[in-house]
Amino acid sequence: MARILVAMSGGVDSSVAAGLLLEQGHEIVGAYMKNWTNEEGLPGECPWEEDIRDARAVCEYLGIEFRILSLTEEYRDRVVDYLLSGYREGITPNPDVMCNREMKFGLFREFAAAQGFEYLATGHYARREDQADGSVDLLRGAPGKDQTYFLALLQQEQVRPALFPIGHLAKPEVRREAARLGIPVAEKKDSQGICFIGQIRMSDFLAHYIPDQPGDIVNLAGVKVGEHRGLHLHTLGQRKGLGVPSNTFGKAYVVVAKRPERNELVVAFDGTDTPGLYASSCRVGSISVVNRPLQEAQALLAQPRYRCEAAPVTADFLDGETAVLHFEKPQRALTPGQICAFYEGDRLLGGGIFEEIHG
């Protein structure tokens, strides 16, 4: 039996993960990673105090030790600053992916190792597969709740000690396991906010740190159709929150480009043939691999967003950090700053960050 530190969020997923590992006879300790306390008074709900109470209650119910690890300064340096600098540069960063790489499977994993734990377990919907050579691969979790996309920038040293006790289960099954175990948070709703920050709209969060820079919203012909508060508040493919009405045929505007030099947001009517909205090739940088190096040129699957299917691509890996992707079918709203995850079937190969969209 192993000594395992479980990353407790106060939610049902990590609680069931701890309960299942305890049933298997492992030595379990639960720990809450305190990353954000909203001392600056941002609008929205920051539930860290409630989450700590719930995590502690679950550990007390299970009869295991509970710890709190404060990483607020490190979280600001590694995740919040990354988030804000990305939006200031006009790209769309992904704080959840970076939080996993830098915090949960970074500093938190290092803490677990320093404390003598053999493994770090989380409530992610992912599966590990141990290989004969001692390495570990990551596989997609249960259909409908797979979260491997958010693990796309992890490397082997981070994956090898990671356990995902609920990765083979669908969400309803996790709820049933929570009820069977009698876990206090069995019916608690899932969190929907920014990673560890809570229920706050991204636009409200950004407004606290980045001043408005109003400019024109123009159509493809360069005609002004509205005004924006700042390019950093918009992303490619965005339809809602533009403040520009649909046309008489009910077609909605969608963001197809940003022009920082003119501070213009470019929109067009949404459709399958909208210029600038779809692209077949792009460049991806800052590539990270889960286990084995990616070949110079190979066919694989690429997932450009969390809530979309992975699509066939030919990937030309130019060096260890950059690749040019050629999709078989044009993809909607490929966005600089976002994460592209690479797969071979259900196997997560790694991922990178969109740098340039070629059309």
pLDDT at 133: 97
The pLDDT tens digits for 87-114 are 999 899 999 999 999 999 999 999 999 9
pLDDT at 197: 63
Alpha-carbon gap, residue 336 to 43, rounded angstroms = 28
pLDDT at 194: 62
The pLDDT tens digits for 192-241 are 666 656 667 788 888 889 999 999 999 999 999 999 999 999 999 999 98
pLDDT at 230: 95
Could you tell me what percent of the chain has a pLDDT over 70?
Answer: 94
Alpha helices in the chain, H assignment, sequence order:
12-23, 48-62, 72-75, 81-88, 95-99, 108-114, 156-159, 171-181, 202-207
pLDDT at 193: 60
Cβ 38 vs Cβ 198: under 8 Å: yes
pLDDT at 218: 96
Cβ 82 vs Cβ 93: under 8 Å: yes
- Is pLDDT at 41 greater than 70 in this prediction? no
Active-site residue numbers?
A: 99, 195
pLDDT at 118: 98
pLDDT at 351: 97
- In the structure, how many helices (H) and strands (E) does the chain have? 9, 17
- Is pLDDT at 188 greater than 90 in this prediction? no
Please give the single-letter amino acid code of residue 330.
P
Give the residue with greater pLDDT, 330 vs 319: 330
> How open is the CA angle 282-284-289, to the nearest 5 degrees?
140
pLDDT at 261: 94
C-alpha closest to that of 8 among 60, 74, 44, 43: 60
The pLDDT tens digits for 74-87 are 999 999 999 999 99
- Is pLDDT at 39 greater than 70 in this prediction? no
* Radius of gyration of the chain, Cα coordinates, nearest whole angstrom: 22
The pTM score is 0.93
Provide the mean pLDDT of the chain. 92
Which pLDDT band holds residue 318 (cuts at 50, 70, 90)?
confident
Third-level CATH fold of 278-357:
Elongation Factor Tu (Ef-tu); domain 3 (2.40.30)
pLDDT at 36: 78
pLDDT at 80: 93
- Virtual torsion, Cα 91, 96, 98, 104, nearest 10 deg: 170
Q: Length of the chain, please? A: 359
Terminal alpha carbon distance of the chain: 53
pLDDT at 298: 82
Give the count of beta carbons closer than 10 Å to the beta carbon of residue 173: 14
Alpha-carbon gap, residue 192 to 175, rounded angstroms = 17
> How open is the CA angle 11-205-213, to the nearest 5 degrees?
160
* Average of per-residue pLDDT across 171-189: 93
Alpha-carbon gap, residue 192 to 139, rounded angstroms = 24
Q: Please state which CATH class domain 211-269 belongs to.
A: mainly beta
Domain boundaries, the chain: 3-123+165-202, 211-269, 278-357
Which pLDDT band holds residue 42 (cuts at 50, 70, 90)?
low
pLDDT at 57: 97
Query: Quick one: 3-123+165-202 is in which CATH superfamily?
Result: HUPs (3.40.50.620)
- Is pLDDT at 249 greater than 90 in this prediction? no
Picking from 64-78, 179-193, 270-284, which range would have the lowest pLDDT averaged per residue? 179-193
Could you tell me what percent of the chain has a pLDDT over 90?
Answer: 78
C-alpha closest to that of 55 among 107, 18, 3: 18
